[in-house]
Amino acid sequence: MAIADLARLTSGTHTQTDSVSRSNAIQKALRKVQGLSPIQDSVLIGNVPSIWPVLSKYANDDSGGGDQAIITVPPPEFIWDQRNFPGGEIRYFAHAVKFTSPNDHLVISAVFADNAHRLFIEERGPGGALIQSFTPVGGLADGLMVPQASQTDDTTSPFNWQKIRLWSSDDIIPESTNNYLVVSFEVMNYLTADTLNPAGLAYFIDIYHALET
Ligand SMILES: [Ca+2]
């Protein structure tokens, strides 16, 4: 069966963000891809502590069989909703792409977060209605979503922010091509006594689909 690339999604200013809820971030992501408003683009924050692991492409990337639509997508950027990072805060991020076929899809992801995060990959209707979840109930888990976990759980190297979480799956079959594949994140910045306590998110998602059912 032939397989084709559909999209590469990487964190950047097009990633939508919200300080209140994942649902709000998803609404913004769906509006962004449909050319509607209001939206809220994420802020590029750079490698704040200079020691975060960087998700980057190979210099001679030929992903997607060399398809320019894939390999010209910029590598992931470190993002947040603003340039300050209070300890204990949770921020939400989302990115949507429209399904173009009813066939089996393959999604491959790599995610960095400072400090903990949950990743959700879902089919959503154009207005945001949840159609189905491809990730576990409550999202894929990276670290405890507890502000004090930096003092109780995430206390030795490799720290949570040093881990790149990997996930992939096939059997991602949309109910309708009117719907969207929506990737969303809930990210928590732990409390710490350190002077510098940055928060950030960076991700890479490749989506492929079968050309026949
Ligand atoms: Ca932090």
The pLDDT value recorded for residue 193 is 80
Q: How many A from CA of 192 to the centre of ligand 1?
A: 7
Per the omega criterion (within 30 degrees of 0), is the bond before 115 cis?
A: yes
Query: How remote is the CA of residue 128 from the centroid of ligand 1, in Å?
Result: 30
CA-wise closest residue to 114 among 54, 189, 43: 189
Residue 206 has pLDDT above 90, yes or no: yes
Give pLDDT tens digits for 77-113: 999 999 999 999 999 999 999 999 999 999 999 999 9
Measured CA to CA, the distance from residue 173 to residue 211 in angstroms comes to 12
Instruction: Give the pLDDT score at 145.
Output: 97
* Amino acid 38: pLDDT: 98
Q: Rounded to whole angstroms, what are the CA distances from 154 to 52, 74, 190, 199, 212?
A: 16, 31, 9, 15, 45
Maximum separation of any 2 CA atoms in the chain, in Å? 55
Distance from residue 188's CA to the centre of ligand 1 (Å) = 8
CA of 82 to the centre of ligand 1 (A): 14
- Identify whether the C-beta of residue 197 lies closer than 8 Å to the C-beta of residue 89: no
**Predicted local confidence at residue 180, as pLDDT:** 98
Give the pLDDT band of residue 1 (cuts 50, 70, 90): confident
Whole-number Å distance, alpha carbon 190 to ligand 1 midpoint, is: 5
In this prediction, residue 3 carries a pLDDT of 94
pTM exceeds 0.75: yes
Q: What is the DSSP string of 14-33?
A: TSEEESS-HHHHHHHHHHHH
Cis peptide leading into residue 174 (ω within 30°)? no
